[in-house]
Amino acid sequence: MKTKGPLLKRFSGTKRLSGILVGLLALSLVAVPAAIGAPFAYIANMGDRTVSVIDAATNTVVVTVNVGRQPYGVAVNPAGTRAYVANFGDGTVSVIDTSTLTVVALVPVGSLPIGVAVNGTGSRVYVANFGSASLSVIETASNTVVATVPLPGSPSGVAANSAGTRVYAILGDAVSVVNATTNMVLTSVTVGFAPFGVAVSPSGARVYVANGDGTVSVINGTTNAVVATVMAGAMDDTLNGIAVSPSGALVYVANASDQRLYTIHAQTNQVLGSVQVGGNPVGVATDPSGARVFVANAATRNVSVVDAATNAVVSTVGVGVNPVVFGVFAGGAPSAPSSSCDDQLAELQAQLNTANGTITSLTNQNNALQSQVTSLTNQNNALQGQVTSLTGQLNTANASIASLTGQVSILQGQVSTLQNQLNAANTTIANLTAENKALRDQVAPLQQQVDALKAEVASLKSSLAAADTTIDSFVKRLFKGATDLNVALAARDEAQQQLTLALAKAGTKDWRVKRAQSEFNNGLSYLAKGRYGLAVHEFQEAFEIARRVLR
């Protein structure tokens, strides 16, 4: 069974998919204002306690800001004046002033904060505390926690609607919907397996959830019901970060398994295409114009910058160690001279194609009518010579012509309708044929990957068993050996390592973790007093209890 925790693992794999094809004519359909200052992307580097600030105008890191331990989620307020960084390792939120690019406040929150979101007015910040199963509510005017919302599980991703009425927190296999006014959980919406990222459309009408089974759940923001499930990659692929374009027309989701960024059409809930990015992509965010999409790649320590109009990577920016940032981590003034038009080009191109088809059909009808006019004119000229003697017959013939002309018009309408149906059927056949071929081409490589993964799992199980045996043997020799300062220090380090792993797995509320922590603290006390034998004994107790938690 596949599991997923807050600290992501690297995935590998490749997949070739077509990019989004857009026409240049669509650029003329939207008004284009003058360009103004570029926005910034704030990339949390979990491995070195920093945030890399990328200038979207130059795609370069302009400054590296020191923050708390293990920074994770980042959110920029709508005004672009503050960036909020959740420090997973020390239970705080760093507040960055985007004008000076310095930390101006450090706000204590719950245990192991991971996701962070800002409401539509910028007055409240919501922090998902994975370790304490809660949501911290920060008042931005004072940078203080004004409320703590208990949750029925450990949350990861969090998002708020623009109206400031709802907050959505990911936990377990569901999404908790929180009333932002009362800070009470309203309901829980079941989604896919191991969800992680969550994003809300600008209107609040749709909520998008990235799941660990290769799907995106689409939730109605009014009824809190799942209205669609979109496959973004292969079944059981791990999806991480997710973002909605400023216009609400497109949804972007990062697939850590095949290392691609998928683009979904929000109106049809269909995948438009994908593009290869870096290793283990985690976070996804768009700039305020929708012209650029930023993808943080944890394994390759860089950020892929994607052009939304062409769906192509235009730059790769190196950042710090393990950039696992996710959330709305890009903000500021629009970087491109467009009014949220780049992310609508694909839709406008489809409308243009339909219009061209209509023009072609009308042109064909006009040509047919011109031929009929010519034929009727020739008949009329021939009949003019017989006007005197055949006036009665001409009247009868004219009546017949009028009747036939009406029938011809009816038949022309039927022909036009049948032609449109035929064109649609041909298009459907072509699409289904291409999809069938693509699916067949994927069967053999996927089977090879499955076989390879089975062999690798068996090998890893064997290696893990051998490693556990070696560790247990070493620890027994350590604890049973002669006790001096060096032995006591080694025992302390082994116990501390196991205790840290047990804490990450079970949390601080687990009674076994509390007991192990107590034994470990006793060992530290004896060690400080030079009573090494008693210290080793206490460290051994802490070690054994932590090992039982991990099993």
- Asked if the structure places residue 332 within a domain, the reply is yes
Q: Residue 393 burial by CB count (10 A; 0-12/13-18/19+): exposed, middle or buried?
A: exposed
SS3 289: coil
Q: Which residue segment(s) compose the domain that 534 sits in?
A: 451-550
Q: Looking at the structure, do residues 412 and 468 belong to the same domain, yes or no?
A: no
Q: Count up the domains in the chain and report the number.
A: 3
d(CA 19, CA 261): 10
In a domain, 314, yes or no: yes
Residue 28 lies in a domain: no
Please indicate, yes or no, if residue 12 is contained in any of the structural domains: no
pLDDT per residue rounded down to tens, the chain (551 residues): 444 444 443 333 333 333 333 333 233 323 233 333 469 999 999 999 999 999 999 999 999 999 999 999 999 999 999 999 999 999 999 999 999 999 999 999 999 999 999 999 999 999 999 999 999 999 999 999 999 999 999 999 999 999 999 999 999 999 999 999 999 999 999 999 999 999 999 999 999 999 999 999 999 999 999 999 999 999 999 999 999 999 999 999 999 999 999 999 999 999 999 999 999 999 999 999 999 999 999 999 999 999 999 999 999 999 999 999 999 999 975 433 333 454 455 445 445 544 565 567 777 787 777 878 477 567 867 858 784 784 787 577 478 758 868 885 886 888 588 688 868 878 886 887 788 788 788 878 878 886 887 887 577 667 656 655 655 655 555 556 567 999 999 999 999 999 999 999 999 899 999 999 999 999 999 999 999 999 999 999 999 999 999 88
- The answer to whether residue 317 sits within a structural domain is yes
Angle at 249 between CA 248 and CA 255, to 5 degrees: 90
Distance CA 225, CA 221 (A): 8
In this structure, what CATH number is given to the domain that contains residue 174?
2.130.10.10
- Collapsed DSSP state (helix, strand, coil) of residue 164: coil
* Closest C-alpha among 157, 265, 151 to residue 201: 265
Instruction: Report the candidate in 157, 76, 69 with the shortest Cα–Cα distance to residue 114.
Output: 157
Same domain, residue pair 455 and 526: yes
Do 374 and 396 belong to one domain?
Answer: yes
Q: Contact at 8 Å (CB) between 237 and 257?
A: yes
Residues 109 and 149 in one domain: yes
Handedness of CA 540, 132, 78, 274 (dihedral sign): positive
Q: Taking the model in full, what pTM does it have?
A: 0.59
Sheet holding 226-231, edge to edge: 198-200, 206-210, 215-220, 226-231
How far is the C-alpha of 67 from the C-alpha of 60, rounded, in Å? 20
Q: Could you tell me if 63 and 198 lie in one domain?
A: yes
Of 397, 431, 465, the position where a domain reaches its end is 431
Alpha carbon distance 152, 185 (integer Å): 9
Tokens representing 144?
Answer: 């203080």
Q: Say yes or no: 79 and 167 in one domain.
A: yes
Closest to 135 (Cα-Cα) out of 121, 154, 107, 119: 154
Same structural domain for residues 525 and 484? Answer: yes
Q: Does 523 reside within a domain?
A: yes
Q: Based on the domain organization, do 52 and 146 belong to the same domain?
A: yes
Question: For residues 74 and 70, what is the distance between their CA atoms, to the nearest angstrom?
Answer: 12
C-alpha to C-alpha distances, 112 to 48, 125, 135, 240, nearest whole angstrom: 17, 16, 11, 18
**Residues facing residue 96 across a β-bridge:** 83, 103
Report DSSP letters for 508-522, one per residue. TT-HHHHHHHHHHHH
With contact defined as beta carbons under 8 Å apart, do 254 and 299 qualify? no
The CATH number of the domain holding residue 521 is: 1.20.120
The DSSP line for 188-248 is EEE-SSS---EEE-TTSSEEEEE-TTSEEEEEETTT--EEEEEE-SSTT--EEEEEE-TTS
54 and 166 inside one domain:
yes
Q: Is residue 254 part of a domain?
A: no
The answer on 318 and 390 residing in a single domain is no
Q: How far apart are CA 43 and CA 48, in angstroms?
A: 12
Are 61 and 113 part of one and the same domain?
A: yes
Q: Strands 50-55 and 40-45, how do they pair?
A: antiparallel
Kindly state whether residues 364 and 406 are assigned to the same domain. yes
Identity of residue 171: L
Query: Quick check: is 1 in a domain?
Result: no
